[in-house]
Amino acid sequence: MELRPFQQYDLEAVAEGCRNEQAHYDSEGAWCYELFLRGLALGNSFAATAVQQQFGRLVIFWIKRHVRELDASIEDELAHQTWAQFWRYCSGQRFERFHSVAALLAFLRKCAISIGLSYQRKQQREAVVQAKFAAMQRVHAELQPPDQLALKRLMHAEQLQQVQKWLEQHADSKEYQIFKLSFYEGLRPAEIVAHYHEQFPDIEEVRALKERLLKRLRRDLGYLREHEED
């Protein structure tokens, strides 16, 4: 069996040789190739760690070139995913497809860019979903009558009991009916007039009753913010 050029050297010497090659931009990269071979083809975990230490900053650089404004924790996670993908496709017998450090680094760069762009597309999809959800919430809020929105601020049981007690003590029959139709049934003034025309034939009277009732409730109980009638 043919011996490799640096097979007789220990891992520390190989890692040091790789660092020197990278510092001097050695295009051959024989030491680094030996380091990759030990980590990928031979499954030496210490060599694998040395590879990641040597080229880790390069992976981060490639990721940041394609995905900007990343938190450090996200950078580390994307780098971890890059190395996992690289190891998955290059380890064992698959290493034989790569005959130089340049080829290995080209594939490592491809993995980094792929992971970075996948993360970016995921973020963009999530942003679209969040924007749609926010728009749906705004539409839902806009479709609700202002009275119902105000009622949601009264929905705690204790507050409702206080309002009910106040109505019994201070509201007349028309005011009580207006409150019930507006807040419990969610009817607008025009709808109250349409459905209960005999009792409330005048829309302006309905609006006046509601406004007067709300002002008194706000004054006495501190509930119900100012809102505009439709």
158-169 pLDDT per residue, tens:
666 777 788 888
Residue 122 sits in the same domain as residue 162: no
Burial class (CB in 10 A: 0-12, 13-18, 19+), 35: buried
* Domain annotation covers residue 5: no
Parent domain of 188: 146-221
Q: What per-residue confidence (pLDDT) applies to 224?
A: 52
Query: Does the residue 32 lie in any domain?
Result: yes
Distance, CA of 211 to CA of 128 (rounded, Å): 40
Q: Is residue 227 part of a domain?
A: no
Distance CA 194, CA 178 (A): 13
The domain tally of the chain equals 2
56 and 107 co-located in one domain: yes
Coil, helix or strand at residue 144: coil
Q: Is the domain of 98 the same as that of 178? A: no
Verify that 72 and 183 share a domain, yes or no: no
Q: What is the pLDDT of residue 5?
A: 72
The answer to whether residues 213 and 172 touch, using CB atoms and an 8 Å cutoff, is: no
Q: Estimate to the nearest angstrom the gap between the alpha carbon of 95 and the chain centroid.
A: 37
Looking at residue 168, its pLDDT comes to: 82
pLDDT computed for residue 59 by the predictor: 95
What are the average pLDDT values for consecutive 10-residue runs of the chain, which has 230 residues? 70 93 80 93 93 94 85 88 94 90 94 91 77 64 57 57 80 84 81 86 89 84 50
Q: Point out the domain boundary residue: 72, 103, 137.
A: 137
How far is residue 143 from each of residues 132, 180, 181, 230, measured CA to CA in Å? Answer: 16, 20, 18, 12
Q: Does residue 174 lie within any of the structural domains?
A: yes
Q: Is 57 exposed, middle or buried (0-12, 13-18, 19+ CB in 10 A)?
A: exposed
Does residue 58 form part of some domain? yes
Using an 8 Å Cβ cutoff, are 15 and 44 in contact?
A: no
